[in-house]
Amino acid sequence: MRQPNTWENMFLGCTVQEIPRLIPGLVLTAALTIFVILLTDLVNSALGFKGLISYILIVIVLGILLRNLITVPPVFMPGIGFCVKKLLRLEVVAGNMGVV
């Protein structure tokens, strides 16, 4: 198996041929994120505030809780790792820049 080149490593963390193994974890984290967004919107509207509770904070806390309370099957780990290493960092940077 070849090592990822500079661009693959920078954007994906793996080679292009390894992308299919990321899909289960990406789907799981997307589902968790959608659930958290809906839940956070519901709680914020119930409290009468917009943006009182941050999506990103709840996703991080819920991810930590789930990871420590249940065993995540190994098939999900590459995609979850990609989301943590690449997408979460991108969201933090975008949030600090006021993009999101």
pLDDT digits (tens, 9 = 90+) for 26-77: 999 899 889 988 988 898 888 888 777 778 788 888 888 988 999 889 999 9
Rounded to two decimals, the pTM is 0.75
On the 0-12 / 13-18 / 19+ scale of CB atoms within 10 A, 78 is buried
What integer pLDDT is reported at residue 3 of this predicted model? Answer: 83
Please give the Cα distance from 61 to 82 (Å, whole number): 18
Which residues are CB-contacts of 63 (< 8 A; sequence separation ≥ 6)? 32
Percent of the chain with pLDDT over 90: 16
What integer pLDDT is reported at residue 100 of this predicted model? Answer: 57
Helices (H), the chain: 6-11, 23-47, 55-69, 77-82, 88-96
Q: Where are the domains of the chain?
A: 22-96
